[in-house]
Structure formats: C-alpha cells, structure tokens
C-alpha cells in the first residue's frame, strides 16, 4: 500500500491529480484505491483506477468518461508497474563527502 501512496505523491509532484486511499489497519480486510488523471492537456480526461480488495485486484482506464480497458490480477499489476516506471522520480542521496547524487 505504501508504494501506491508513493506513486500518488510522484504523480502529484509531476503536476497530475492523483490520490490513494488505504482501508483497514494492516491486518485482515485491508484494501486500497489509487486514482489518477494522466491527461496531458486541459481538454483531455484520461483517468486510471487501481483497486486492491478482498475480492481481487483491478485496473480500469477511461477517457472522457468512457471505459477503455479493464484488467484484473497479474495484468492489472503489470499496468500499474508500467505507469510507476513512467513517472518514477529520481532519488537523491548524499555520499560521505556530502555530495548529492541522483539515483534512478
């Protein structure tokens, strides 16, 4: 669930609208919902939704309110990973000399 929250933060930092909601306390019955608008223009409305629940995992992608694709299980996870790779932010660390280095 933490990865979904990190992806949401990365997308927000890139200027996209994104949110992640986690349900439960980390024990039985935990789930999460990730929603993001990946539009590249103001006139476009490209929404993706990733849902994890007791009933399974799903990915739904829509444009302007029309569902384009719905994936479940491993295919849904692969699509989420593809989006995460696309928007992954470089991580900056400091070495022992205090010099900042960017990792990918």
35 phi and psi angles, rounded to 5 deg: -135, 135
The CB density around residue 47, as the number of other CB atoms within 10 Å, is: 18
Residues 43-82: pLDDT tens digits?
Answer: 778 899 999 888 899 999 999 889 999 999 999 999 988 8
Mean pLDDT for 19-37 is: 78
* Tokens of residue 50, six digits: 């990733």
Mean pLDDT for 5-19 is: 84
Residue 96 confidence (pLDDT) = 56
**Could you tell me the residue range of the domain that residue 29 belongs to?**
2-103
- Neighbouring-strand partners of residue 60: 49, 70
Q: pLDDT tier at 29 (50, 70, 90 boundaries)?
A: low
Domain count, the chain: 1
> 58 to each of 78, 80, 98, how far by Cα in Å?
11, 10, 43
């Amino acid at each position: 669930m933490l990865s979904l929250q990190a992806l949401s933060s990365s997308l927000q930092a890139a200027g996209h609208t994104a949110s992640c909601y986690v349900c439960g306390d980390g024990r039985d019955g935990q789930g999460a919902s990730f929603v993001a608008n990946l539009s590249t223009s103001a006139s476009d409305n490209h929404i993706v939704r990733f849902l994890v629940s007791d009933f399974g995992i799903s990915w739904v992608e829509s444009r302007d309110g029309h569902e384009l694709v719905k994936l479940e299980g491993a295919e849904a996870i692969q699509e989420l990973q593809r989006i995460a790779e696309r928007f992954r932010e470089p991580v900056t660390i400091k070495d022992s000399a205090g010099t900042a280095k960017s990792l990918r």
